[in-house]
Structure 1
Amino acid sequence: MLQESISQSIAIVHPITLSHGRNAEVWGTDGKRYIDFVGGIGVLNLGHCNPAVVQAIQAQAAQLTHYAFNAAPHGPYLALMERLSQFVPVSYPVAGMLTNSGAEAAENALKVARAATGKRAVIAFDGGFHGRTLATLNLNGKVAPYKQRVGELPGPVYHLPYPSADTGVSCDQALAAMERLFSVELAVEDVAAFIFEPVQGEGGFLAMDPGFAQALRRFCDSHGILLIVDEIQSGFGRTGQRFGFTRLGIEPDLVLLAKSIAGGMPLGALVGRQALLAALPKGGLGGTYSGNPIACAAALASLAQMTDTNIATWGEQQAQAIAQRYEQWKASGLCPALGRLTGVGAMRGIELVDAEGKPAPAQLAKVLETARAKGLLLMPSGKARHIIRLLAPLTIEAEVLEEGLDILEQCLAALN
């Protein structure tokens, strides 16, 4: 139960109070240690209090704590945008803007898409999550709890099935659903953009079918539609590559960034084709706190560590450790509720199901509670909240990762 001064509409997964953290470990105010497989919900790819990030924050705080970039530019914003333009792996010249969050990046992407195309309709996907602001709510491919009691939402927005080996929706089925949409509900010439996550986060770490992504890219090119890729959770090394869209074999027109961009500081970004980011009039983009100097300094320190070698090594080590344990659990019959292993790289989900193979959210709730008591923090995901979301820092020590997986093994075994 939250204290009365905090909105009761905020849901808390773990009823504990944290005091401090170091890499993949956190401690409660009561002194209890936890291994953190939540990572601030994908924000801490480089761990809690990464030394280089902390040093950059401290140095910048002694020089300039804030200035609104649209009032007068400052060095950290300029340096970060230049670095991001080089870091995003696309063939075209990149421009962008900094935001306070991923949802704000998505909101600005919708403005850019409307201005650049002169069209309004957006097509998103079942199970997707793009934010909690009013416009991004309508993009989300799930009603409860995000869309409940808020009335009519900005649009028009349409949804398609998300094609993935993890959802059982094939490329052909998704393309057929898209064909139906354009023959029954919506004129293709009214569509400004498609938006999707290359690996759904809230949806349960479901990886998009590359064949569909490539077909969608061709479709958008032939109809003057923008392709927006949401890398808020899948970006900055989580999938074993800089960004998840690379494994799909496509280039997006606009990319949404946030979460692990700045080592825990509140920051997001919208980047994409230079012409698109110039579609709105002067003053059409910006924000008072967007691109705060301290957050920019933290992001620059984070990006300096995200070399391709580091990202590949971190992702491979974590992916192998998780997959090896999962295969052992399946082979040994550790837990009858153990379903699929979803996701790619170090972005992995473990599904829990009942005897009929249907989602088992009650079983997941038991695992979360038992794990917390044993010193491991986990996060639910999936439409039915039945998929354990594994988001340990990429920099987690091997022995700490194994310790966390040991605890998870014990919790799964206890479900028998």
Structure 2
Amino acid sequence: MNNSDFLSFFPDPETNGTADSNTQDLAIIFDGLNGEASEQGTPVDNDDFSAMLDGIEMLEEMLVETELAGEEALQEMTPLEQETSVMFEGNDLHYEEMDEDAISLTPPFLRAYEVLQEQVISLGQRLASTEQELTGHRRRTSSAESLIEQQAIALTQAQEQLAHTVAELQIYQEACKQQQLQVETLTEQLAASQELVIFQQNQLNNGAENNGAEIQELRTQMASLAAENGKLKSQIGDHSGEVARLEQQLTEMSARLQRQQRYALQYKSALEQCLAQPDFHPPADIIALVAGLTGQSKELKPWASVGDVLASFASGNTEPASAPVVDLTPGLVNFSPSPDKQTASQPLPSNKEQRDYKNKAEKGIASAPLEPAKPIAPIPAIDRLSFAVKEPRPSRRPIDLPGFLPRATPMG
């Protein structure tokens, strides 16, 4: 590759105006991109921002293609052509020219390259600032979205609270209407009750005049009844002593009656047990004693006779209603119906008589028939007692009646 081929990659001095025009076109493009990037400092549409990014990417591709073309051209150079070296130290460029013909051709290329490098650096800085602004814009957007969400949540809560408040307001309105109806009803009832009270007061005023005479008569009757009550109380006080004495007599008589009834029951049970024994023949003296005792007994009067006592008390008769009851127990103190225990008046058989009686019984000689027992006269005082006493079973055991002490209680 000769110098002419190498110089074909660079613009001719005569065509320097064309290179300057290309450089100006690139500057215009970058200025337009810079203006668009500067406008991105403020919120813009997403379509304009995406168009700016597309232009930056296209410019980067053009720079990469230019570098690749330069590298290929360097590889195709001869060693003589490669003796020209370019050294970069920071932002300063040092040229070592070995060929005197290339001195006038190298500066335009270097100027264009420097311009492009400066534009790339400025565009990179603008791109970094734009990315920072974009990051800040995204951060602000996310914060704005979170704020919008919070506001939406607050708005929803406010709407719910408003709906709840509206419902409560409706309830309060209904309650207020009901209270108004109740107030109206109570007002009507109050007016009706006031009219009724006025009417009743008028009736009372009219009735007080008419009932004055009746009240006076009632007071007179009350005075007369109070006087009668005082008289009755004085009479009751006078007869209280007699009533107490009669109650004491009644208590004593009831006690004596219970005792006589108990004695009669015991005597009746003992008598029935004695009569249930067919071999027992009471002596004549005992039969006479019993007949004498039963003949002297008197009939007990029923409890209905107490009315006669009260009648006599009311009529002023202080005599007792009935005669005192005679105690019939002294004669039965030593009575024993058992055949084993005989009285002292009847002698016991001797041993000889008992042996003779036993021998006769063994020989089959029948003894003389015993005389039948005499019937006992009925006891009217005992038969008239109406007690539901269960009859005891007949028994062969000896029966001892209790020994009752003779006791005569005088009538008070």
Into which bin does the TM-score normalised by the smaller protein fall? under 0.3
TM-score (structure 1 length as normaliser): 0.16
Which protein is richer in strand relative to its size?
1
RCO higher in structure (CA 8 A, sep ≥6): 1
TM-score (structure 2 length as normaliser): 0.16
Which protein is richer in helix relative to its size?
2
Larger Rg: 2
